[in-house]
Structure 1
Amino acid sequence: MHPTYELTDAGDRYFDGLADKFSRSLYQAPRGELRLAMLDYLLPQMLHLQAQPVLDVGGGLGQLSGWFAARGHTVSMTEPSHDMLAHAKAWHAEQEAAAVWPPGQLRYVEAPLQALTSQAPGPWPLITCHAVLEWLGHPEQALQTLATLLAPGGQLSLMVFNRDALRFSNVVKGNYQKALSGQLEGKGKRQRLTPISPVTHDEICQWVGQNGLHIESVAGIRIFQDYVRQAPEKASDQATLLALEKQYCQQDPHWRLGRYLLYTVTKPEADV
């Protein structure tokens, strides 16, 4: 079993022992609420959803898998962290008991992305991989694996932590030397949640092209929220900020500074 709070032998970061902190820091906070609200807004626009089976890679606490299950998709959720997967299963069981979706919509694979070519080979018509690449030692290889798992004509919903936004945020916070040196990556130690492999839009474009895939659309998530001087406290201000995020998330130049970049990537149909 991998040591808690340390990188794996492959250089990846798992979150065993951190499920509660992850939940508090990322989802029980305004930034997490806004991220989920933006996904709820963008995914139906950016994907062709026809209740097709979904492979949710690195599903974490299970929110995205639940989102698809509630919309009629059968979902195979993969997650290497036993703690995160247990948290997701418990929450999914509550949702199923409340009839949010019928029994049997979800199955689980406790495995890292690198093992999915054997443990969940597909090919899959729809793959989601949100906020995973930035926690891997070799994100370029991970995208190659995802391309292998994707069916011809299939869609990959890919969300990554934006390195350019991380630099901009450090400047706003006064961390000038850190931004100037370009040493933005987290170390993957202790309970820190700074990604170890933040990526740029140019890198994603390069890797997508190298694997014979195509970017259909892109949007920025949290394009304003991380830079406001004072977080909105009133519900009306929070609603206005969300409206701003929705209005400009796909417009140049704003989407480029989203804390996360959300892509729809497609694989060409097989030659007949």
Structure 2
Amino acid sequence: MKKQTPSDRNFDSLIHKFEKRVYNTVKGEWRLKLVKEDLDHLYQQSKLNVWDAGCGFAQVSQWLAEAGHQVTLCDLSQKMLHQAEKSFSEADLQAEFLHGAAQDLAPELPDFDLVLFHAVLEWLATPLETLKTVADKVKPGGTLSLLFYNRNAFVYNNVLKGEWRWQYILDDAYIGKGKNLTPPNPQFPHDVISALQGWGFDIQMQTGIRVFHDYLTPQVLEKSDQDELFALEYQYCRMPTYRDMGRYIHLVAQKL
């Protein structure tokens, strides 16, 4: 039997699950809050040329467009892209929308002041190779905003759950096979940071998204104060050690 070549994940069939379980949740709101805070110094600048490479529902790029920045968006999922177009239209905002994978579109695109690559890396067949193609579109002096699913958190969370999972972790045979909303290729922060530095980027900011929340049991969450939990999240999310344990990692990197 011919071995199937791995491919990037298309979310056309899962768009409603994403909307319900990722975007329209307290967890999703917290992620958006921290990413916007990390990018606020860019938001405040005069008109930037922005590429949202794998835009999803495009909340961050819409926020930037509202500030007057020029935005180009793309997504492999036609349904995700359509939802982003609809949101921009309802907000009376202009942007360029391109259907396709970021790495396929990149050769035809100009360089950008700011490239957003959010929650895409972990779904790719060749994560770092594709990241290099996308990162190459950042202008010298420009910025890459990279959000990705953290392999540290994936390992730690599954070790805490125990039972049959330990052997999979020992064998480096990850449980997530890309089905539903479990990414097949979570990345170690140190590997991603090392790659970016090798490509001429300076890491200006690192934030861990949900450094405690996703390790807590439903019973603990039910009995605990949510405001206190997110106050703890905020206190530790950019502190070394804790930031490396967030469910997602957000890096702000400037191209030298």
Per-residue displacement from partner, 1:177-204 (whole Å, max 9, x unpaired)? 3333322252234xx1111211101211
SS at match of 1:37: helix
Per-residue displacement from partner, 1:108-151 (whole Å, max 9, x unpaired)? 111101122233x2211111111111111111111211232111
8 Å CA contact 2:207–2:251 kept in 1: the answer is yes
Tell me the residue number matched to 1:168: 156
The verdict on how the C-alpha distance between 1:41 and 1:246 changes in structure 2, with shifts beyond 3 A counting, is farther
SS at match of 2:145: strand
In the TM superposition, 1:81-230 aligns within 5 A as 81-96=77-92, 103-104=93-94, 106-119=95-108, 121-174=109-162, 175-184=165-174, 186-189=176-179, 192-230=180-218
Paired amino acid for 2:59: Q
- Alignment length (residue pairs): 250
1:61 pairs with 2:57:
yes
1:25 pairs with 2:21:
yes
- Out of 39, 64, 67, the residue aligned to residue 43 of structure 1 is 39
Deviation larger for 211-220 or 130-139: 211-220
The verdict on how the C-alpha distance between 1:210 and 1:171 changes in structure 2, with shifts beyond 3 A counting, is same
Paired amino acid for 2:91: Q
Per-residue displacement from partner, 1:29-77 (whole Å, max 9, x unpaired)? 2221221222233322688743312111100112121121122212111
SS at match of 1:24: helix
8 Å CA contact 1:46–1:264 kept in 2: the answer is no
| Distance in 2 of aligned mates of 1:30 and 1:110 | 29
Paired amino acid for 2:103: Q
Deviation larger for 110-119 or 126-135: 110-119
Moved over 6 A (4+): none
**Percent sequence identity over matched residues?**
36
| Distance in 2 of aligned mates of 1:221 and 1:146 | 22
Tell me the residue number matched to 1:247: 235
Tell me the residue number matched to 1:267: 255
The verdict on how the C-alpha distance between 1:195 and 1:181 changes in structure 2, with shifts beyond 3 A counting, is same
Residue 261 of structure 1, CA deviation:
0.8
CA RMSD of aligned residues (A): 2.3
Unmatched 5+ stretches in structure 1: 1-7, 97-102
Deviation larger for 9-18 or 255-264: 9-18
Deviation larger for 37-46 or 246-255: 37-46
8 Å CA contact 1:13–1:136 kept in 2: the answer is yes
The verdict on how the C-alpha distance between 1:244 and 1:72 changes in structure 2, with shifts beyond 3 A counting, is farther
The verdict on how the C-alpha distance between 1:10 and 1:73 changes in structure 2, with shifts beyond 3 A counting, is farther
8 Å CA contact 1:127–1:157 kept in 2: the answer is yes
Paired amino acid for 1:152: P
8 Å CA contact 2:56–2:75 kept in 1: the answer is yes
